[in-house]
């Protein structure tokens, strides 16, 4: 007599709260108001839920959110809202006014969630927005979440990957937070090969696409116009693409960025590799700002975040749209499941 295999546990997702003077707590609260979420994951907020959400309104005839406030993530309860205490201070904060205290709370929440993720107590983390400037301290010298997580989990390299599964639209960047004047010298053949490999692997491992089709954009207007407007395409980009094609990968380009996005050509590919930050993020946010998710590819762990910042200007007004954070939660669940599937299937090529 055969017995059904045990049902895998729902992904345990740690939510770091971001800068408390921004909209992080609000978008987390609004996301958790949707009862359907508990059917997809077990949420774990890293902070004191009693104080984080105390001032947020409750709709008429609706029940207030009830959390299990814990000291140790080992006590997480499936099917419940959990919160892990990660600071003992009573922070006095003003919405929209970042301070040393709000930066400290953001650091402590992130560090606690990352520690529990490394210990295997979580399956993924979803990070609410921080202020890169306000989060700095003697023991935290990172430009942002991505750089910290890459260092903390020992990633040799990583890839900024913006995702909207509804369109679908997936845009990665070969160079990230880098001054535009430095892009041409940074864009070497080795770097481009590394980023394309990371992108192909992520599409297979995290999005369950067996034979991904990837487009690479050009650096210069009109992709260099045969060398008239720049030589980077001919000297660097095209030879790398041809090598991937020779090795049997579906990698194409370089495409002029304006026409590529303007004509909807991106719909023919599983993902697009832009060569610098704004080249990819401007069209992505024009089309997908409300539902877009920032996913860090190349990590051994799963991390997603909304594609927007702290929004200090609207903090405390309860008008923030939680759609991007909610999409980040569901994408984290999908990626966790995709990785489990790849590990469980002996036929997997990933």
pLDDT tens, per residue, the chain with 350 residues = 444 444 468 999 999 999 999 999 999 999 999 989 999 999 999 999 988 998 888 877 788 899 999 999 999 999 899 999 998 877 778 899 999 999 999 999 999 999 999 999 999 999 999 998 888 988 889 888 998 999 999 999 999 999 999 999 999 999 988 899 999 999 999 999 999 999 999 999 999 999 999 999 999 999 999 999 999 999 999 999 999 999 999 999 999 999 999 999 999 999 999 999 999 999 999 999 989 999 999 999 999 999 999 999 999 999 999 999 999 999 999 999 999 988 655 444 43
Q: How many domains does the chain have?
A: 2
- Same structural domain for residues 88 and 102? yes
Helix (H, G, I), strand (E, B) or coil at 92: coil
Do the beta carbons of residue 335 and residue 124 sit within 8 Å? yes
Tell how many helices (H) and how many strands (E) occur in the chain.
Answer: 11, 12
Task: Give the pLDDT score at 27.
Answer: 97
- Same structural domain for residues 145 and 286? no
- Same structural domain for residues 68 and 99? yes
Task: Give the pLDDT score at 348.
Answer: 45
- Same structural domain for residues 116 and 182? no
Task: Give the pLDDT score at 42.
Answer: 97
Domain boundary among 252, 272, 297: 297
- Same structural domain for residues 254 and 315? no
Residue 137 is classified by DSSP as: B
- Same structural domain for residues 280 and 311? no
Its domain, for residue 22, covers 1-155+299-350
CB atoms within 10 A of CB 1: 2
Task: Give the pLDDT score at 130.
Answer: 94
What CA–CA distance (Å, rounded) separates 177 from 13?
Answer: 27
Task: Give the pLDDT score at 8.
Answer: 60
- Same structural domain for residues 57 and 137? yes
- Same structural domain for residues 6 and 148? yes
- Same structural domain for residues 41 and 122? yes
- Quote the longest CA-to-CA distance of the chain: 72
User: 51, 41, 42: which is closest to 20 by C-alpha?
Assistant: 51
The verdict on whether omega for the bond into residue 168 sits within 30 degrees of 0, i.e. cis, is yes
- Same structural domain for residues 50 and 173? no
**Domain with 281 in it: what CATH number?**
3.40.718.10
- Same structural domain for residues 10 and 76? yes
Find the helix packing angle between 189-205 and 323-344, rounded to 10°.
80
Token duo for residue 258: 């304006």
Token duo for residue 143: 């430009």
- Per residue in 96-148, pLDDT (tens digit) is 999 999 999 999 999 999 999 999 999 999 999 999 888 898 888 988 899 89
- Same structural domain for residues 291 and 303? no
């Amino acid at each position: 007599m055969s017995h059904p295999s045990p049902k895998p546990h729902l992904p345990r997702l740690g939510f770091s709260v971001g800068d408390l003077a921004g909209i992080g707590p609000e978008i987390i609260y609004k996301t958790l108001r949707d009862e359907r979420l508990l059917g997809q994951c077990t949420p774990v907020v890293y902070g004191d839920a009693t104080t984080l959400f105390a001032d947020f309104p409750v709709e008429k005839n609706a029940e207030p959110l009830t959390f299990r406030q814990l000291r140790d993530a080992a006590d997480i309860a499936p099917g419940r809202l959990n919160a892990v205490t990660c600071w003992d201070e009573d922070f006095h904060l003003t919405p929209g006014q970042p301070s040393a205290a709000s930066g400290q709370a953001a650091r402590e929440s992130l560090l606690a969630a990352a520690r529990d993720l490394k210990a295997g107590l979580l399956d993924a983390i979803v990070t609410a927005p921080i202020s890169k400037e306000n989060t700095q301290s003697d023991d935290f010298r990172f430009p942002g979440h991505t750089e910290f997580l890459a260092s903390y989990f020992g990633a040799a390299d990583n890839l900024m990957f913006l995702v909207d599964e509804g369109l679908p639209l997936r845009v990665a960047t070969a160079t990230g937070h880098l001054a535009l004047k430095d892009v041409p010298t940074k864009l070497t053949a080795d770097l481009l090969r590394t980023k394309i490999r990371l992108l192909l692997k992520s599409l297979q491992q995290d999005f369950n696409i067996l034979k991904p089709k990837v487009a690479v954009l050009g650096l210069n207007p009109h992709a260099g116009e045969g060398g008239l407007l720049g030589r980077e395409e001919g000297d660097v980009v095209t030879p790398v693409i041809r090598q991937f094609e020779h090795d049997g990968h579906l990698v194409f380009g370089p495409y002029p960025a304006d026409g590529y996005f303007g004509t909807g050509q991106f719909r023919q590919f599983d993902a697009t590799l832009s060569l610098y930050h704004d080249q990819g993020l401007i069209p992505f946010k024009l089309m997908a700002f409300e539902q877009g998710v920032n996913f860090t590819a190349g990590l051994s762990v799963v991390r997603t975040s909304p594609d927007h910042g702290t929004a200090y200007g609207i903090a405390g007004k309860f008008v923030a749209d939680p759609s991007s954070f909610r999409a980040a939660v569901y994408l984290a669940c999908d990626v966790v499941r995709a990785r489990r599937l790849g590990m469980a299937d002996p036929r997997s090529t990933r």
